[in-house]
Structure 1
Amino acid sequence: MKIVVDYDKCEGLGMCESMADDYFEVDDDTDQVVVHDDSPEESDRGHVYAAVQACPVLALELRD
């Protein structure tokens, strides 16, 4: 599984960061998400999936 960000959609709202801050961080300068690790471990996939689903502008996607 790989985290993919559509930076044209990202508004830096931070829902992903609040749910999985070990994977996502909103950059204060660009107001866009930075992905720390785009390939989550199997044990982390549940909360990463929830964080991706919480994005209100649908800027995040998980791909196999």
Structure 2
Amino acid sequence: MKIEIDEDRCIGAGQCVLTAGDVFDQRDEDGVVVLLDDSPAPEQHEATRQAATLCPAAAIALRES
């Protein structure tokens, strides 16, 4: 799995951080998503998929390998 973030689409809702905090964080100044791990371990895939689904701005794109 590879993750791509579109920072321009991110609205800072924080659903990704709440769902997969080991993979995503937010910038303090504006709340925009920060990718901590662009290739998460298999045990993080489920939470990462859920975070992408919950993102209200569809700012998270996943590529399954």
What TM-score do the two structures reach when normalised by structure 1?
Answer: 0.91
Unaligned runs of 5+ in 1: none
Number of the residue aligned with 2:15: 15
Percent of aligned pairs with the same amino acid: 39
State the distance in 1 between where 2:34 and 2:5 align. Answer: 9
Gaps of 5+ in 2: none
Within 5 Å, which residues of 2 pair with 1:1-64? Answer: 1-64=1-64
Residue 30 (structure 1) shift: 3.1
1:1-37 CA-to-partner distances (Å, cap 9, x unmatched) read: 1110011101111000000111111111132101110
Runs of 4+ in 1 over 2 A off after TM superposition: none
Over aligned residues, Cα RMSD in angstroms? 1.0
